[in-house]
Structure 1
Amino acid sequence: MDITNRTVFIAGATSGIGLELARRFAAAGSTVVVGGRRTDQLEHIAAEGFATVTIDVTDQDSVDHARDTILRDHPALDTIVTMSGVMLPEDLRDPAHFSAARTTIDTNLLGTIRVIDAFTPHLIGRGAGTIVTVTSGIGFLPFPPMPTYAASKAGVHAYSEALRAQLDGTGVEVAELVPPAVATLPEHARANPRALKLDDFATEVMDLLQADPTPHEILVKGVMMHRWAERDGTYDELVAQRSQALSMLPGRQ
């Protein structure tokens, strides 16, 4: 994938991985539109020179309005990155967790589908383009305190596979970015010393994206343990280790 002359829309890029990738695409020579819900953050990002658009991926009208705005101002749009997501802990012993589960599915899975649906006709009409979905190592190796997050990301993985098959022959490619734990804030690094530094992660991602053809899965070295746990016979042991984190849930300590 040539990252030097793209027109890229990243949904959910007001902070963290999404914003860093936006900066990397721009530095490589691409035009980038940053989308998100937080208008205060969008103002700061616009000051960096990015085009911005307000989008709430849980709201179909908001998605449609963002699409119309982007395609009006950037008709050459050829790359979509579905970065929007939430990561919420849940105690499955407490039925009150369902609210968090619903929010997670609506944002991570249905939000991804809404954004893809909004732009797929445009990309097919161009006869070329790239959709980058964003899953997680947790979609392949669950983190028990966040069960619906894991389920939502596993769902996006399966959806990405099906989307790629259905778009075969249209000129539109589908790549799945699979992050491990990434320290997007200093407190993340303190809480999880194994988390990758954001700068290192982004550098590896952009290097992988530039491969020709674009890989179906963008797998940095730090996520291989998660992605291939079942194949490597380490799955049960690793899930048991990660289950120790259930003590973080209120009432479990």
Structure 2
Amino acid sequence: MDITRSTVFIAGATSGIGLELARRFAAAGSSVVIGGRRTDLLDELAADGFDTVPIDVTAEDSVARARDTILRGHPDLDTIVTMSGIAVPEDLRDPAHFGAARQMIDTNLLGTIRVIDAFTPHLVGRGDGTVITVTSGIGFLPFPLMPTYAASKAGVHAYTEALRAQLAGTGVEVAELVPPAVATTEEQARLNPRALDLGEFATEVMDLLGADPTPREILVKGVLMHRWAERDGTYDDLVAQRSQALATLPGRQ
């Protein structure tokens, strides 16, 4: 994709990775629309010069309203990024985890599908464009502390593969961004010293997105050990290593 002249909608970009990528797209020369649920943050971003739209990816009517608003103002929209997502630790021994599990599936997996469904007719009608889904290294190498998050991201990966096959020949590219742990706040950097620096991550992502052709999977160096763990024979050892985090659950000391 041409990151210098695209018109990009990023659902879930009021903070973190989504906001950093919005800034990078804008700096490269693209027009950017930021979507999110928090109207206070949207107001701040609008004051900074971004086009913004409220969207709740768990509600079909909200997604439809956002789509209609965006396409009225940006009929040349050619790129959507499905960034919205939540991650919550779960104790699978406690049935009370199910509420969090349902919320993650509704946001991370079904929310992705709702946004893609809303914009696919427009992109196919244009005969060109790009859909960028956002998964996670955890979708390929589970983090047992966050089982449903891992399952939701693995589901988005599988859905992305099928979407790419179904849109073949339409002119619409489908790419999958696979982040590892990224330190989007100072607190996250303190809690996980191995997390990638947000700025360094975004630089690597934009370089990959600017390649021709656009890679099917946007894999920064820091996520390769997750993506290829099974192929490399490191999967079992790494899952066991990551299972040590289960000791942080109440009653697991």
Interval containing the TM-score (normalised by the shorter chain)? over 0.9
Query: Structure 2-normalised TM-score?
Result: 0.99
Residue 84 of structure 1 aligns with which residue? 84
Q: Give, in whole Å, the separation in 2 of the partners of 1:42 and 1:53.
A: 7
TM-align CA RMSD:
0.4
1:181-200 to 2 correspondence within 5 Å? 181-200=181-200
Amino acid across the alignment from 1:59: A
Amino acid across the alignment from 1:180: P
Residue 104 of structure 1 aligns with which residue? 104
Residue 4 of structure 1 aligns with which residue? 4
Residue 62 of structure 1 aligns with which residue? 62
Q: CA deviation at 1:201?
A: 0.1
Q: CA deviation at 1:92?
A: 0.3
Residue 160 of structure 1 aligns with which residue? 160
Q: Give, in whole Å, the separation in 2 of the partners of 1:97 and 1:193.
A: 28
Residue 205 of structure 1 aligns with which residue? 205
Residue 230 of structure 1 aligns with which residue? 230
Aligned-partner SS, 1:174:
strand
Residue 124 of structure 1 aligns with which residue? 124
How big is each residue's C-alpha offset from its partner over 1:133-170, in whole Å with a ceiling of 9 and x where there is no partner? 00000000000010000000000000000000000000
1:11-90 to 2 correspondence within 5 Å? 11-90=11-90
Residue 218 of structure 1 aligns with which residue? 218
Q: Give, in whole Å, the separation in 1 of the partners of 2:194 and 2:14.
A: 24
Aligned-partner SS, 2:8:
strand
Residue 115 of structure 1 aligns with which residue? 115
Q: CA deviation at 1:249?
A: 1.4
Q: Give, in whole Å, the separation in 1 of the partners of 2:222 and 2:60.
A: 35
Q: CA deviation at 1:251?
A: 2.1
Q: Give, in whole Å, the separation in 1 of the partners of 2:248 and 2:39.
A: 32
Q: CA deviation at 1:250?
A: 1.9
Amino acid across the alignment from 2:248: M
Structure 1 stretches of 4+ with a deviation exceeding 3 A read: none
Aligned-partner SS, 1:35:
strand
Aligned-partner SS, 2:176:
strand
Aligned-partner SS, 1:114:
helix
Amino acid across the alignment from 2:190: R
Residue 252 of structure 2 aligns with which residue? 252
Amino acid across the alignment from 2:23: R
Residue 95 of structure 2 aligns with which residue? 95
Q: Give, in whole Å, the separation in 2 of the partners of 1:249 and 1:122.
A: 45
Q: CA deviation at 1:211?
A: 0.6
Q: CA deviation at 1:47?
A: 1.2
Q: Give, in whole Å, the separation in 1 of the partners of 2:58 and 2:239.
A: 31
Q: Give, in whole Å, the separation in 1 of the partners of 2:115 and 2:104.
A: 16
Query: Structure 1-normalised TM-score?
Result: 0.99
Amino acid across the alignment from 2:194: R
Amino acid across the alignment from 1:201: F
Task: Indicate the percent of aligned positions where both proteins have the same amino acid.
Answer: 83
Q: CA deviation at 1:243?
A: 0.2
Amino acid across the alignment from 1:155: G
- Structure 1 stretches lacking a partner, 5+ long: none
How big is each residue's C-alpha offset from its partner over 1:19-42, in whole Å with a ceiling of 9 and x where there is no partner? 000000000000000000000000
